A and B are shown apart, each in its own frame.
Chain A
C-alpha cells in the first residue's frame, strides 16, 4: 500500500512541474506573438503622448487625470467634479497658468449644479477661486456658505482666513485659521497660520510653523512653496544668506516653481551681482509676465540708470494690468503701483483709495499712503502709513514709507526712528528705495 500512495505523489510533483513549465512557455509565446484582440474593457481615454515637464507637477497631474477619467464614466459624480475643480485651481497656482481658472470654475459650477444642497466642497472651491481672482469679499461669502453646510470643512476655513486677511479683518482671520488648525493641522493650515503670525510681526513663530509645514510637505511643489515662504521670511528680516539658501533648496526640489526665481533675483541684486539679477528677471518676466515682476525688474533697471529698458518694462506692466482688467479681474492695488511707477500720481491715489474702500488690508493702506505722498499730500498720507504698520508687522517697506512721510511733514525725530527701523529690518528691501533710504537718513540727521 505505501508504494501505491508514494507513486502518485511523485507523479503529482512531476505533473505540476510539467504544467508550470508548459504554461510559462506558452504564456511567453502568447505575449511575444501579441494576441492583440481588442479589449472589451471600458474604452481607455486618449493617452496624452508625452509630458516633458511632468515630474514636479506629477501629483496634481495624476489627481487631475484620475478625476477626468472618472467623470467621463460617471458624469453625475458631483464630489469628483468639485475635486477636479480644486485640482485645476491647484494646478493654476503651481504652474501660474491662468487657463486653468475657467476650467476650475466650470468644474465647480457643474458640481454645484448637480448638487446644490450640502455641497461644501464645491462652495469651498468657488471661494478659493474668488480669492485667486482677488474677489476677497466673494470668497468670504462662499466660505461662509460652505461652513454653514459643513462646519468641519477645514479648507473652507482656509479660504475664509485668506479672504479675511486680505479684507483687513486680522482678528477674524486669526480666528478662522485657529479653526483650521484644530480641524486639520496640516500643510495648508500651517502656512496660513504662519502668514497670520507674520502679519503681526511674530517672525520667529511664523518661521517655526513654516518649518513644521515643510516637514509635512511631500510633493516637490509643496516643498518649493514652503521653501519660498521660509526664504521670504528670512529676506524680509534682512537675513540674505539664509533666504538664498531656502530659495536654492526650493529650486532643487522643484525647478519650475517661479516665485523662487524672483527670490534669487532679489538676492543677486542685494549682493551686487546685477548681471545675474537682470538675467533672472528677464527670464522670469518672459515666463510669467505679471505686473509685479515687471515693476521689480523696472526698479532694478532704473537703479542702474538704464531708463529706456526700465520704461519698456513699465509699459509691459501697464499692458499686463490692462489685460487683467479686460479679463474681468479687479486689482486696483497693482494698478496703483503701475500708475505710480509711470508718475501718474493722481491715478495712483484714485486706484489705491478705490481698493481701500473695498478692503482695509495693510498693503493697501501702505500703497495709498505712498501714492498720497507722491502726490504731495503728506498730511493725508500719514494716518494711512501708520495704519499699515498698526498690526506690528516687521516690514522695511512700511517703515520706510512712514519715515519718508514723517520727514515730509517735518516730524524729524519720528522719521529718524522709522527710517532706522527700516534699515535695521531689511536694508535691501528695494534696489531703488534702498539708496533713497540712506539719503533720507542723512537728511533726518541720523549718523
Chain B
C-alpha cells in the first residue's frame, strides 16, 4: 500500500517535472535561436504587384550578421550602417524572390527598407528586416502568378506567404489573406501543426473587385453545420471521444452502441447517400417491400464489410492514404450506379419499342407472361392486379401488368428477372461501397486503442442504423407508390403516357446521378 502511494508520488513528480521542463524564458525565440523566419505578403493591383517581405532573424543569425551590419567595426550599428545593411540585404532578397506573371519574371523596384533590433534571450538581440518591393504587372485581365522565394533557403525557419487582391480577384488562392503569425510576431503553438514552410505558390487572378476565395480552409475553422448535419457531427465527436476515452464502463459501452446506431440512421438520412438512389430506383421499377429490404440489406452489408476491410487495410499497410482509397471507391460507386442506370435505360427503351409493336395478336403471349409473373410476385401484387383488372378499362388492364412485369417477355423472364435482381444488388453495393468517414474513424480509433472488438461492434451498429433508415425510406416509397399508382390509374388516359415513360425518365436520372457521383469523386483528386 505504501509502496503504491510512493510510486504515485514519484509518478506525479515525474509528470510535473515533464510539464515544468519546457518552462523556458519567455524571451527565447519560439522557433529556436538560430531560425531565419520569413513572410512574403503579396498585394496584387491591376497594374502592379507589391510585396512586403519581413525577415525575423533569431539571436544567433542576428549576431552572425552583426559583422555585416557594423561596417566600421566600432562595435555599434549606427543608423547609417543599419540602413545600408537593410538596403543591401533587401537587394539580395529581391534577387531571390521570383514572381512570374504569365511566365514573365517581374523586375523589382526596392522601396522602403528597415532593420530593427528587438531584445531577445540571454541579453542578445533578434532583428527584423522589412523590405517593400514592387513591380509593374498586367493583372487587368485574367492571369496566373508564380511566386518562389529562395532567399536563405537553407536556413531553418518559418516560411509564410500571404496574398491579397485590390481590384483583383484571387481564384482558389492557396495563400491566405492574413498572416497566421501576426507578421512573424506570434507563432502558433498548436501541437498539431508543423512550422509553416511555404516557399512557392501558384495563383490565378481575375480582374475586378469581389471576394477572393481561399482554397485551403483551416482545419480549426471546421464548418459547424446546423440541423441534422450539425447534430450528427456533434454526435460523431461524442462517439469518437467515447472510443478514445480513458474509461469504458459497460453503461458507456451500451450508450456508445446506441449512439452508433442513431448515427448510422442519421448518416443514411443525410443527402448524397444510397437512399436517394434507391428512392429513384424503386419509383422507376415496380418496387416491392422485398426489394426495399433487399437493397437496404445490401447497402448495410457492403458498408459494414467495406469499413471493416478498409480499416484493417489501413492499419496493416501504412503507406496507404485513406483519402485516396475513399476517392477511388467513390468513383467505382458512381460507375456502378451509372451502369445500373444505363442498363435500366436500355431496358426501358427496348420495352417502349416493343410496346409500340405490341398488337392484340400478342394477347396469348401476355397471358402466358402474366402467369409467369404471378409465380414470381408476392401476394400484394396479386391484389393490386386484381384491383386494376376489376375497375378499369381493357386498355388499363393491359397497361398495368405490362408496365410492372416488363421483364417477363418471350420466355426471357428468368434472365431478365436475374438482371433486375442484379440491378438491385448493384444499387445496394454502390450505396454502401463508400465507407462513411466517421465510421472508419471510429474503427481506426478503436483499433489504435486496442479496442478492435468494440470498434467492430460500433461499425455493425452503424450499419444497422443505416439499414433501418434505408428500409424505412424504401417501404415508405413502396407504400406511396402503391397509392399513387392507384390514383393515377383512376386519373385515366392522360397519365398512361406518363406512367409509360416514367421508367425511361428514372433510368436517365439514375444514369446522371451515377455519372455525377463518379465525376465528383474524380474531381476530388484534381
Q: Is the CB of B193 within 8 A of A327?
A: no
A43 to chain B: which residues have CB within 8 Å?
217, 219, 222-223
Q: Is A171 an interface residue (CB 8 A)?
A: no
Q: Is the CB of A327 within 8 A of B33?
A: yes
Give CA–CA (A400, B60) in the complex, Å: 33
Q: Is B286 an interface residue (CB 8 A)?
A: no
- Which of chain B's residues has its CB closest to A9's CB? B415
Binds A, one of B88-96, B276-284, B394-402, B518-526: B518-526
Give CA–CA (A51, B22) in the complex, Å: 28
- Which of chain B's residues has its CB closest to A37's CB? B520
Q: Could you write out 20 A-B pairs with CB less than 8 Å apart?
A: A8-B415, A19-B339, A22-B342, A27-B334, A27-B522, A31-B518, A34-B526, A45-B219, A49-B161, A49-B175, A49-B200, A50-B198, A53-B199, A73-B445, A76-B246, A80-B448, A99-B156, A138-B17, A323-B28, A323-B124
B520 to chain A: which residues have CB within 8 Å?
30, 35-37, 39
- CB within 8 Å for A319 and B59 given contacts A43-B223, A77-B244: yes
Give CA–CA (A256, B161) in the complex, Å: 23
Q: Is B31 an interface residue (CB 8 A)?
A: yes
Binds A, one of B61-69, B77-85, B379-387: B61-69
Which among A35, A75, A315 has the greatest number of chain B C-beta atoms within 10 A? A35
List residues of chain B with CB under 8 Å of any chain A CB. 11, 14-15, 17-19, 21-25, 28, 30-35, 59-61, 63-64, 67, 121-124, 153-156, 161, 174-175, 189, 191-201, 215-219, 222-223, 240-241, 243-246, 270-272, 323, 326, 334-335, 338-339, 342-343, 346, 410-412, 415, 437-438, 441, 444-445, 448-449, 511-512, 514-516, 518-520, 522-524, 526
- CB within 8 Å for A322 and B218 given contacts A19-B343, A68-B192, A96-B156: no
Q: Is the CB of A73 within 8 A of B240?
A: yes
B522 to chain A: which residues have CB within 8 Å?
27, 30-31
Q: Which of A26, A97, A142 contacts B515 (CB 8 A)?
A: A26
Q: Is the CB of B270 within 8 A of A40?
A: yes
B218 to chain A: which residues have CB within 8 Å?
46
A103 to chain B: which residues have CB within 8 Å?
191, 194
Q: Is A342 an interface residue (CB 8 A)?
A: no
Q: Which of A76, A91, A138 contacts B244 (CB 8 A)?
A: A76
A328 to chain B: which residues have CB within 8 Å?
21-25
Which size bracket describes the interface of A in this complex? Answer: 35 or more
- CB within 8 Å for A74 and B244 given contacts A19-B342, A52-B153, A323-B124: yes
Q: Is A442 an interface residue (CB 8 A)?
A: no
A102 to chain B: which residues have CB within 8 Å?
22, 189
Q: Is the CB of A74 within 8 A of B215?
A: no
Q: Is the CB of B34 within 8 A of A42?
A: no
Which among B216, B338, B519 has the greatest number of chain A C-beta atoms within 10 A? B519
Contacts A141-B14, A316-B60, A323-B33 given; 12 further ones with Cβ under 8 A? A26-B512, A34-B519, A40-B271, A42-B438, A43-B222, A48-B198, A91-B194, A106-B22, A126-B18, A286-B61, A316-B64, A327-B121
Docked complex: A56-81 residues within 8 A CB-CB of B: 61, 64-65, 68, 70-80
Q: Is the CB of B217 within 8 A of A30?
A: no
Q: Is the CB of B33 within 8 A of A79?
A: no
List residues of chain A with CB under 8 Å of any chain B CB. 4, 8, 15, 18-19, 22-23, 26-27, 29-31, 33-37, 39-53, 61, 64-65, 68, 70-80, 84, 91, 95-99, 102-103, 105-110, 112-116, 126, 133, 138, 141-142, 145, 256, 283, 285-289, 312, 315-316, 319-320, 322-323, 325-328
B175 to chain A: which residues have CB within 8 Å?
49
Q: Is the CB of A34 within 8 A of B223?
A: no
B64 to chain A: which residues have CB within 8 Å?
285-286, 289, 316
Q: Is the CB of B59 within 8 A of A19?
A: no
B123 to chain A: which residues have CB within 8 Å?
322
Q: Which of A53, A61, A289 contacts B34 (CB 8 A)?
A: A289
Give CA–CA (A381, B111) in the complex, Å: 61
Give CA–CA (A116, B14) in the complex, Å: 11
Q: Which 10 A-B pairs have the closest CB atoms?
A: A76-B244, A30-B519, A326-B122, A19-B342, A74-B445, A46-B216, A42-B437, A98-B32, A45-B219, A99-B31
- Which of chain B's residues has its CB closest to A91's CB? B194
